[in-house]
Amino acid sequence: MIVLVTGCRSGFGQNIALRAARAGHTVYAGLRDLNTAGPLVEAAKGLPVHPIALDVVDAAQREAAVARIIAEQGRIDALINNAGVAIGGPLEDLEEDEVRHVFEVNVFGLWALTNVVLPHMRAQKSGIIQNISSVSGRMALPGLGAYAASKHALEGMTEALRVELAPFGVRVVIIEPGPYKTDILGRNRALGRKAQRPDSPYADLSARSDALFAKVSASAEDPEDVAERCVDLLTDPSPALRHPMGKSARMRLLARWALPDGVIEAVTKAALKRAK
């Protein structure tokens, strides 16, 4: 299969690209900055992995990346939309440009790239779209509202795409990881500018949220688990829509299904109270 993976600098993207190549697929590994390709290139020696310039918010790069793949391979069989960013801070403490950036990367850029790929998949009457969401796409936590909102949007968009594309033989799935050791917990997560101010009315909440976040991050799981699932799904003829990944994600989604909203809120407030 010919596979395009976005956000391959590290984490899920890099792991998916390498595992897919080891499974015999030809992989185009999207990178916002090709100067960061060193670790991927080193790890991929001898494997059919092709680093490609692809900032998902750049229309010209979206078009060029897909055009190159079609020119070189004549087809594209899988798009794994992994590139994403996060921002922390209470919603009132976030500024418009910060929230817009999260949505530009996590929602609009993903949607636009998918639309560049789809005409080729429809023409060949086959393909798979894998959208890397998050457990936050179904259950938001305080201090991560903007990120959760972007993933909620992605979940809804993916549900619609799955039905719209089924007549064309294109499969669509959502991957919903909990906390994993990736850059979404580090380099790709920022704290809103106003949220860092000590005079913020949410200063205590932010401190407690960050303490809870740090605790959760310390027990984050190995991203190779997600990569394995993504590669397995490439050849699954009838995959389920949603794929929660990790113990934390499964526990939170079970709680969402089984407990009233009031109980979940009470548990969240108690966890924040114990934090810091």
Tokens standing for 34?
């090709």
Question: Is the Cβ–Cβ distance between 93 and 195 less than 8 Å?
Answer: yes
The total of other beta-carbon atoms located within 10 Å of residue 46's CB is: 7
Find out whether 84 and 132 touch, Cβ atoms under 8 Å: yes
Catalytic residue among 28, 147, 180, 202: 147
For CA atoms 73, 75, 77, 81, the dihedral sign is positive
- Beta partners for residue 190, in sequence order: 87
Type and span of the H or E element at 49: strand 49-53
For residue 180, the 8-state DSSP code is B
Distance between CA atoms of residues 84 and 226, nearest Å: 15
Note whether 140 and 126 are within 8 A (CB): no
Q: Pairing state of beta strands 170-177 and 127-132?
A: parallel
Angstrom distance (rounded) from CA 90 to CA 92: 6
Residue 197: φ, ψ to 5°: -80, 135
Strand, coil or helix: 69: helix
Length of the chain: 276
* Residue 81 tokens, joined: 């939309």
Whether 147 sits among the annotated catalytic residues: the reply is: yes
- Known catalytic residues are 147
